[in-house]
Each structure stands twice: as C-alpha cells, then as structure tokens.
Amino acid sequence: MDSVKVISTTTIKAPIHNSTTCDSHQIINLTPWDLQFLPLGTIQKGLLFHQPIPIPNQINHLKHTLSTTLSFFPPLTGRLIITTTTTTTTTPNNTSCSIICNNLGVLFIHAKANNTSVTDILQPNNIPPIVHSFFPLNGVKNYQATSEPILAIQLTELTNGIFIGFTLNHVVSDGKSFWHFVNSWSQISKDSHKLPKLPSLQRWFPNNIQTPILFPFTITESESQDQRSKLPERIFHFTKAKLEELKSKANEEIKTEKTKISSLQALLSHVWRSIIRCKKLDPQEDFRYVLIIGVRPRMNPPLNEDYFGNAAMIGDVRMKVGEILECGIGKVALEMNKMILLHSDEKIKNDYECWLRMPRLFSISGLTSCNSLGTSSSPRFDVYGNDFGWGKPVAVRSGGANKSNGKITLFAGVDEGSIDVEVCLSYEILEALGNDNEFVVPISE
C-alpha cells in the first residue's frame, strides 16, 4: 500500500435557483445538543465499493447529483458563525454559535491510492493506517467551520475499487442525520431526483428560550483538548445467530418478564466483559461504559424522525470490575437497560435546561479514559443500502477523528441482521480479544 495522491479538488454548491437555497442569509441557531461538540473532531465515515466503470464519468455524475442533493440540505453548504461579545459582568457566557446557510459550498476531492486494493483494506486483522488518508479535513475541529467546509467528501480510487470518505461537522449533524444525507445522495445518484424523507431543519428549543444561546468558549482551551490517538483499530463481526444467542443468554440470566434485553444491549455487555477480562484489571476497580442515547423518539411529543441536527445525550453505567466479570452478561445488560430507560421526556428536558444554566462542552478525555469504554454510531443506520448506481458497498470504515483508547464504533454488518464492532485499543488487548474463544473471531478470519 502507498500514500494517497490528490488529483483534483472542487467546491460543490447547491443550485442557486432552488427555492431552499435562495435565502443566502438564513441563520440556524444551535441547541446544547449541537454546541457541546464544538471542541471535538468531525464525524468521519466512509464506504468501500468495487470499482464502477468508467471512473471519470462516475465522478462527474457524483458531482452533479451531490449538487442536487445539497439543495435539500442547505446547512451543509454553509459555515458556522462564532461570535464573542465583551461584557461588563463577570459571566463567562459571552459566546454564541449559529449556522449561516450562505451556500459557500462543499469540498469534493478526487484522489488515488495506486497500489492499494479492496483486499488490502478488508484482509488485515487491524485496519490499515492508510484508511485514515481516505478522509478529508483530518485534524480539523468542529469550531473551525467558520472558515473550513461543514461537509467534505473524498473519492479515492483503489486498484480495483473506490472509497468514498465523508467528513461532516458534528455541530451541524449527528449520526442519524449524517446517514440521512448519505442515503439521500445515493438515492438521487442512482435513480431519483426526489426524496421520500426531507430533512426537518428546525432546531428544537423550549418555550421562552432566548437564542442564540450564550456559553463560555475559547479556541485556546479547545486546542488543548486534542487527544488524537494513534492506537490500532480492529473490526469484530457478530452474525445474526451469535446476536440471538447472546440475547437469549442475557434474558435467561435475568429471568424477568418485566424487562427484555435487546440484542444490542446483550452485545455491548458481552464486549464490555470481554475487554475487561483481557485487560486483567483489579476486581475492585471501577469501570465506566458510555453510551450515546438518541432522544428523537423519547420526547413528548417525539421529535420528527428526520430532525436534522444533533438529538442525542450521553449516558453511562458504572460497575466494579469484579462485579462485571462475575454476574454475567444478563446483569450487565440489565444495568444498561435501566440507565437507558431513565432518559424520559422529563429527564431530557431537565438536562437540556440544566445545560443552559451551566453550559459545558465535550472533551475526548472526558468521554473515554483508561477505565472506560465509549460507544458511538448505531447498527440501525442504513449503511449497505447506499447504492450510487454501481452496486452496494462491501464495507464501511471510520476515520481518525475522535479516536481514543476505548472508543467503540458500531455498524450494521454486510450480512442482514449482523453487527460489526470497531474497537480502538492497544495492540495487546486487540490481540487478546482476537484470540479469546469466549469473544468472537475477527471479521477478516
């Protein structure tokens, strides 16, 4: 495998004649769910395909259909506006941030990796480092979208395939909205100029909330939080049958009719216990598992399913290492289940209003640490339905943004009903997991 060579860069804008982009000064104010991501890195996800023929025609087609798709997603062609005002009071809440939908455009990069094949990406146990080079805007933080694009896309030609890497500002979008855009583009690229699911661009604010929201923020503090990791990553594949086995085992262990453990809760408990077992920690140590909990269906009334923006909260479960190992996946999954159920409409709104009183921004070190794991993304997102006209993807991969020790990313597997778990840990722990007969064999074996 060699390095990636950039062939061309283009700025893609939405058609100016479209009614959704005619207001070049539309402002979208941001919620606490959005603002807390300012110091972090972007969302970086990408799709691997066998190569369509001919490539030049496909690139031109992709650029054209991307422009069409962007007419439905005006925030993606805009920029952030971050304003800090000088006050005579002692309050640190003097910064605001909004999206201006000014159609400055999306970055589109055409690149080549002349000696890298699809097999080179899929075969190794650990994800090859070159994969991170398939993503644009590496190292860019969300707050830098005052000048950097909110969305950048890189199409990298391989010897027998292509990789489309997406870098999307996490202040503007969460994972669900990210895949809404990708699904829309692939659909338009394949055979349609209409979307069955239009994005709902109106952000959610409680009544009587003054916007834009003010909060404390300085670039110096943000830059000091860059904890970018060089740790290896490995993908483990769980078949539908294995997931059913874990689910049945978890529910059998808790023996209650009131609570049903889901396949995902059972899987995450299994992953948690297996990693702790491989780490060989002191039984009396505390360990934390961090989950991203979507709030769209949990609010009353529910948010629009196609709400475009961030609509998720952080939840965590804390247990002793010894307890996790001794009690089985059922008990661990039950603790996860209880924590998730606590996120009712009342709690969501209380936490939202608490943030308004005491704003706080995320840091990578705060989400994962030596004795914690953090899970992002979801196997419910439609990854393998993204057919741009030359067939479905053969794999999905993530970039290097927001990676740290203990970061776990979930994807739907290529086989229906399966799940892929991308784990970022030390080489020794990943090797131990791969050799652990109680866990699962890696996807590549």
Q: What is the distance between the alpha carbons of residues 28 and 199, in angstroms, rounded to a whole number?
A: 14
Q: What is the distance between the alpha carbons of residues 282 and 96, in angstroms, rounded to a whole number?
A: 45
Chain centroid to Cα 221, Å, comes to 23
Q: What is the distance between the alpha carbons of residues 372 and 17, in angstroms, rounded to a whole number?
A: 50
Map residue 348 onto helix, strand or coil: helix
Q: Pairing state of beta strands 161-168 and 151-157?
A: antiparallel
Q: What is the distance between the alpha carbons of residues 64 and 13, in angstroms, rounded to a whole number?
A: 10
Identify the active-site residue in 170, 180, 237, 343.
170
Q: Which residues of 38-76 are buried (b: 16+ CB within 10 A; e: fewer)?
A: bbbbbbbbbbbbebbeeeeebbeebbebbbbbbbbbbbb
Closest CA to 274 of 404, 124, 440, 442: 440
Active site annotation includes 170: yes
Identify the active-site residue in 316, 351, 387, 436.
387
Closest CA to 107 of 83, 140, 129: 140
Helix (H) / strand (E) element for 312: namely strand 312-320
Contacts (Cβ under 8 Å, ≥6 apart) of 444: 122, 123, 124, 125, 235
Active site annotation includes 387: yes
Q: Is 320 exposed, middle or buried (0-12, 13-18, 19+ CB in 10 A)?
A: middle
Contacts (Cβ under 8 Å, ≥6 apart) of 176: 294, 296, 311, 378, 381
Alpha-carbon torsion 31, 36, 40, 43, what sign?
Answer: negative
What is the full DSSP assignment across 415-440?
STT-EEEEEE--HHHHHHHHT-TTS-
Note whether 269 and 329 are within 8 A (CB): yes
What is the full DSSP assignment across 297-311?
GGSSSPPPTTB-S--
**Helices 427-434 and 263-279, interaxial angle, to 10°?**
120
Cis peptide before 442 (omega within 30 of 0): no
CB neighbours (10 Å) of residue 344? 12
Q: What is the distance between the alpha carbons of residues 153 and 13, in angstroms, rounded to a whole number?
A: 13
Catalytic sites, residue numbers: 170, 387
